[in-house]
Amino acid sequence: MDSEAARTARDSLELAFQMSNILETGLDRHSLSVLIALCDLGLNPEALAAVVKELRREPPPSSTIPADAPAHS
């Protein structure tokens, strides 16, 4: 990729990130970059949005430490 193309890509990502912040999506630059790349590969943006929403709904994974394990001080 030449320097002009790289600069255009960075500028486009920065603009998309600013719009993402205005819309309060909660996406960081890396996540947004990955989602844009997936769209560029032909994935359906609405399907990707549905996946992101679903992943945010899932409870965080439970701790791997058993509840009856002794606490370390």
Going from N- to C-terminal start, the domains of the chain cover 8-53
Residue 45: in which H helix or E strand, if any? Answer: helix 45-57
Cα angle at 25 between 42 and 34, to 5 degrees?
Answer: 35
For residue range 59-73, what is the model confidence (pLDDT) as tens digits? 777 766 656 656 665
Contacts of 9 (CB under 8 A, 6+ apart): 1
CA–CA separation, 10 and 3 (whole Å): 10
For residue range 15-62, what is the model confidence (pLDDT) as tens digits? 999 999 999 999 999 999 999 999 999 999 999 999 999 999 877 777
